[in-house]
Structure 1
Amino acid sequence: MNPARRCSALLSQLCAPSRGGTAARGPLFPGTGSAPGTRYCHSAVGGGEGGLKRTCHQLKPSRVSNTGAASVCPMGGSSSRLFGTLAQSLTSAPLAQPEAYPEENPDQDPEELLRECEEALQRRPSRPHRNLVYPSSMAPRNKHNSSIRIMQWNILAQALGEGKDGFIRCPLDALNWEERKYLILEEILTYSPDILCLQEVDHYYDTFQPIMASLGYQGSFLAKPWSPCLDVEQNNGPDGCALFYRRSRFSLQATAHLRLSAMMLPTNQVAIVQTLGCRATGRQLCVAVTHLKARSGWERLRSVQGADLLQSLRSITSQRGHSRLEEAAGPVPLVVCGDFNAEPSEDVYRRFSSSALRLNSAYKLLSSDGQTEPAYTSWKIRPSGESCSTLDYIWYTHDALSVDCLLDIPTEEQIGPDRLPSYHYPSDHLSLLCDLSFREGPTC
């Protein structure tokens, strides 16, 4: 697509209502064994800030394979205050002034808002049940040092899911935005992260930004310069990365919007980097979200993009204040979330694991030896064949931060024979989630 065509397509979308189809008629999930109107939900176990206890039928707990976990508990709790804004914001045109969105309203009735969600999704089966896993190798946490919950997720751009990706085993009506958006938002709010890192976001201004703002989050969005979404008719604009943090827990210290380069040339991949101040502890945390180049054959480019990002992160995390106390604290602890489109065997993975930033991959702690990534974070079937890959990661500064728990990976049986996306799961990538705490010591 030439620049003039891209600009024309973008302008036409910014002036048009948000994209969405009509709800499909007839049964949405024939043959699944779940009757329409029946949804199975998680029960709450604390659920974090704004958690909600849900009195729905409990699914059979999933198996946790290849893990040395000390204990497992059912994950749940939905901060579904979100859904009071759905009737207005999800059907509105994109809004260009993020600061105009309302603050979190604690007076909303979560039970009533939950019913709105369940009504919208009553013809769909529930998402795969997942457990919180507490790795046996985790360091003891200071009882006064509350965890920071991080979620990483490639949510699948709507234009790509319907128009380009070719998920041959996923019916088109399962990708209908008018229902799929509820599945995405239900997933996010069930786990109530303090920091949320998303890729392939093409409904930022008309969906995610207003809803997350109403829940007390501050958001930042950076589109790809040449988004493939713009090649799809009736697109909703370019896709990109988004980063949200809970305003009650963090203050924003600095933001960097990066366009990743390769050998001094700008590429189509981007990253958002924000330095946050933790209100409770006074400590700083640097968070980055990125989405590297996809497809086989581009391994070298991903490696160079990763090197460019690491160089920027080294510079950003070394920039503390000028007081002696801040200088003695050393580099700011770092969390990097993203769809790297790279298996652990690729060079870009080795770059991150051996970086001077002292990064470790959180999801290795699900394995029995603490050194092996999950078997998959994405599982899809396209015309070219079936792809079961580990592509998504949460990296963290291992000597400044500790992992308290992780959300486990659904089993093959839970995912189902048609793989992802599906009627019960909205993306071709699984969400990743972990609780991190600041370690005691001079690096903090």
Structure 2
Amino acid sequence: MTYRKRNSLAFWTEGLSGGDDNFVLCPPEALSWENRQLRILEEIYRVSPTILCMQEVDCFSFLKDKLASLGYDGEWVQKPFSPCIEMKDNMGPDGCALFYLKDRLQMISAHPVNLKDNGRETNQTALVCKLKVKDDDHKAIFVAVAHLKAKSGFQNLRHQQGKHLLEYLLKHAGSEPIIVCGDFNASPKEPVYADFTNSELGLRSVYKATSADQAEPKYTTWKIRLGQDNKNTESCKTIDYIWIRKNLKISAVLTIPEDADIGPNRLPSFRYPSDHLALACKLNFT
């Protein structure tokens, strides 16, 4: 599917700018920041979204500077205790970022949300922004960028973090259109997915809503890492989503690559600079 400039919304998950993260089958050259930064910028330019949401961004100043030449401005919120700062030659802490085309949208407000577990603060964050459409004073939209707790065994924590984000949006968004883009680190079988599906906000998952079988994609991440037993461990799953309120209409989605396109060494690679695939869609107000 071909995407024309300035007509879509995209969600991109970027890995950390340094370190190999045990991606043993990925060529070291493909993992280098010198290569990955070019591939990331190339992908953003190819899709040219009106709104761009990113997680694990430990290079916000770099991205803001580069994307400014394409007409973007952006906001960022850092993770409270980022593992990035422990890395050699790190670029700073990571967090969630949102970029938008300044000729199309105006930033009304941007609020960091420290996701909570039954009232207790956690190490995961979200960024919730209110944007106004410049050619229509009556149209505004809330966009949330979220990154929930990773790894198996933390289903309950992700559940509570998702509840907190939903409660925040329910309190602040009113009846305005809502988009939530996130690395949920949760399969469609987890409670947090059910909460978003059944929320009072009336949310639906873009990729599920547009699929022929009304199911999420087979995968949004597919990687091979070296395990603690020195054996390669393969992980293929869907954990990334774009959620929208029902007062938004979906006109197109970016196709998920086929198995053969990804290749036997999986993600990341020279072609795909992240271990997560980019999700994107075109939306219209109803």
Partner of 2:195: 351
Q: Of 237, 242, 246, which aligns to 1:389?
A: 237
Q: SS where residue 194 of structure 2 aligns?
A: helix
Partner of 1:210: 65
CA distance, structure 2, for counterparts of residue 316 and residue 365 of structure 1: 25
Q: SS where residue 158 of structure 2 aligns?
A: helix
Q: TM-score, normalised by structure 1?
A: 0.62
Q: Deviations over 1:201-245 (max 9, x none)?
A: 11111x201111222111001111111112211111111110011
CA distance, structure 2, for counterparts of residue 276 and residue 267 of structure 1: 27
CA distance, structure 2, for counterparts of residue 200 and residue 272 of structure 1: 12
Q: Of 77, 102, 108, which aligns to 1:222?
A: 77
CA distance, structure 2, for counterparts of residue 335 and residue 190 of structure 1: 22
Partner of 2:278: 431
Give the CA deviation at 1:149: 1.4
CA distance, structure 1, for counterparts of residue 245 and residue 166 of structure 2: 13
Unaligned residue ranges in structure 1 (runs of 5+): 1-41, 50-147, 319-330, 440-444
Partner of 1:177: 33
Q: Deviations over 1:93-144 (max 9, x none)?
A: xxxxxxxxxxxxxxxxxxxxxxxxxxxxxxxxxxxxxxxxxxxxxxxxxxxx
Q: Is the 8 A contact 2:3 2:47 kept in 1?
A: no
Q: SS where residue 157 of structure 2 aligns?
A: helix
Unaligned residue ranges in structure 2 (runs of 5+): 228-232
Q: Percent identity?
A: 46
**Matching of residue 48 in structure 1 with residue 5 in structure 2:** yes
Runs of 4+ residues deviating >4 angstroms: none
CA distance, structure 2, for counterparts of residue 261 and residue 421 of structure 1: 31
Give the CA deviation at 1:372: 0.4
RMSD: 1.3
Q: How does 1:66-85 map to 2 (within 5 A)?
A: none
CA distance, structure 1, for counterparts of residue 68 and residue 59 of structure 2: 14
Higher strand share: 2
Partner of 1:99: none
Q: Deviations over 1:166-209 (max 9, x none)?
A: 1111121211111110000000010100000000111111x201
Partner of 2:56: 200
Q: Is the 8 A contact 1:377 1:429 kept in 2?
A: yes
Larger radius of gyration: 1
Give the CA deviation at 1:342: 0.4
Give the CA deviation at 1:365: 3.3
* Count of aligned pairs: 280
Q: Is the 8 A contact 1:289 1:338 kept in 2?
A: yes
Q: How does 1:408-419 map to 2 (within 5 A)?
A: 408-419=255-266
Q: SS where residue 252 of structure 1 aligns?
A: strand
Q: Is the 8 A contact 2:3 2:46 kept in 1?
A: no
Give the CA deviation at 1:46: 6.8
CA distance, structure 1, for counterparts of residue 44 and residue 123 of structure 2: 27
Q: How does 1:44-443 map to 2 (within 5 A)?
A: 47-49=4-6, 149-159=8-18, 162-163=19-20, 165-205=21-61, 207-282=62-137, 283-318=139-174, 331-369=175-213, 371-384=214-227, 385-398=233-246, 400-439=247-286
Q: Is the 8 A contact 1:271 1:291 kept in 2?
A: yes
Q: Deviations over 1:255-282 (max 9, x none)?
A: 2111111111111111111111111233
CA distance, structure 2, for counterparts of residue 236 and residue 273 of structure 1: 24
CA distance, structure 2, for counterparts of residue 270 and residue 288 of structure 1: 10
CA distance, structure 2, for counterparts of residue 286 and residue 269 of structure 1: 20
- Letter of the aligned partner of 2:12 in structure 1? W
Q: SS where residue 337 of structure 1 aligns?
A: strand
CA distance, structure 2, for counterparts of residue 372 and residue 432 of structure 1: 15
Q: Is the 8 A contact 1:366 1:374 kept in 2?
A: no
CA distance, structure 1, for counterparts of residue 183 and residue 80 of structure 2: 17
Give the CA deviation at 1:367: 2.1
CA distance, structure 2, for counterparts of residue 417 and residue 182 of structure 1: 23
CA distance, structure 2, for counterparts of residue 367 and residue 335 of structure 1: 19
Q: Is the 8 A contact 1:151 1:433 kept in 2?
A: yes
- Letter of the aligned partner of 1:396 in structure 2? I
Q: Is the 8 A contact 2:29 2:35 kept in 1?
A: no
Q: Is the 8 A contact 2:12 2:53 kept in 1?
A: yes
Q: Deviations over 1:328-363 (max 9, x none)?
A: xxx111000010000000000000010000000001
Q: Deviations over 1:291-321 (max 9, x none)?
A: 0000000000000000001011111102xxx
Q: TM-score, normalised by structure 2?
A: 0.95
CA distance, structure 2, for counterparts of residue 297 and residue 430 of structure 1: 24
Give the CA deviation at 1:435: 0.3
